[in-house]
Amino acid sequence: MTDQAAQDRALLQLARALREAGYRFVTPTPLTHSRVNARPANRRAADLAGVFGWSRPFTRERLPDPLFALMETAGVLRERDGDWQSAVRLSSLGEELLLHSAYPTEAADAVFFGPDTYRFANALRDYLRRRQAPLRRAVDIGCGSGAGALLIARQHPRAQVLAVDINPAALRLTRINAALAGLDNVEARHSDLLGSAEGVFDLIVANPPYLVDPGERTYRHGGGPLGAGLSLAIVEAAGERLAPGGTLLLYTGVAMRANADPFLACVRERLEGRGLDWRYREMDPDVFGEELLLEPYTGCDRIAAVVLEVTRPVG
């Protein structure tokens, strides 16, 4: 067994042990996370949620020996000023637990999970409840922790579900998260958009980064005009790869300017005349308000979370 395989197995065992211990954690925004952790009483972790959810430093005696040993084997122990800290977090999504990067997510290859994941999951659940046609092939573009792929695979166990990303760390955690969920119909694959995913799909989903990040971190930077570049590229790529009756479900964020939606205008321009049906709605009118203090957004009114559904008609 390679070192990487041994680490992956230990990480999976650690996640299973936490699940059996009744661990649950809902991950907030980075701003809320920093404010809660700044309270004097939260300087060190006092429980499992403090260690594996809030990413707080902890003392050796805080964890049972088996959990500490699994962290050590998995390579997720970090020393910090005489204490220890976990390099991963685990978050609850319904009945699932998903591994992702510890707070703060500063690394270029960080695997993000947060309130956007919950909004994306709610939009996806709503779509899956409404869908009547069978689902044979699906793909989650920019899968991150694999949250979207896992939701689809759980509800459609006979479907082939691809989880694609350009970040090897995301693909690794997606594979472990699928094993933790007991799902064998998820395949994590390296792909830039749909470049390595052949054929057409009954469902294409995406929750891409949509902010302007000075460091251009993969999980956060959307590129293009006000962070919309990647979302628009997904609309372009997915429109050509939908099977008859197939749908693209895109959850993203839009920087509104002068009380207008520039992303909607770009979507309308790209979809017009292509024979596709589509619907568009704001899911949350105001997210990541702190970004408006930064230079790229000084001319913006707000950042809204939106959902776009694009469907290729049958026949």
Q: Which residue has the tokens 């067994």?
A: 1
Domains of the chain: 3-101 (no CATH), 115-311 (3.40.50.150)
Three-state secondary structure string covering 212-223: CCCCCCCCCECC
**218-225, long-range: CB within 8 Å, 24+ apart, which pairs?**
218/108, 218/109, 218/110, 218/166, 218/167, 219/105, 219/109, 219/110, 219/111, 219/112, 219/144, 219/167, 219/170, 220/105, 220/112, 222/252, 222/253, 225/262, 225/266
8 Å CB contact between 25 and 117: no
How far apart, in whole angstroms, are the C-alpha atoms of residue 95 and residue 82? 35
Q: Strands 77-80 and 83-86: what pairing?
A: antiparallel
Token pair in block for residue 262: 């520039």
pLDDT at position 119 is 97
8 Å CB contact between 38 and 103: no
pLDDT at position 173 is 98
How far apart, in whole angstroms, are the C-alpha atoms of residue 122 and residue 205? 13
Could you state, in chain order, the average pLDDT of each consecutive group of 10 residues for the chain (315 residues)? 88 98 96 96 97 97 96 95 96 96 92 96 98 95 97 97 97 98 98 96 96 77 85 95 97 95 96 95 94 90 97 92
pLDDT at position 211 is 86
Q: Which residue has the tokens 């390579």?
A: 75
Element (H, E) at 238: helix 229-239
pTM over 0.75: yes
How far apart, in whole angstroms, are the C-alpha atoms of residue 18 and residue 20? 5
Measured CA distances, 228 to 106, 117, 258 (Å) = 21, 18, 17
Amino acid (1-letter code) at residue 145: S
pLDDT at position 2 is 66
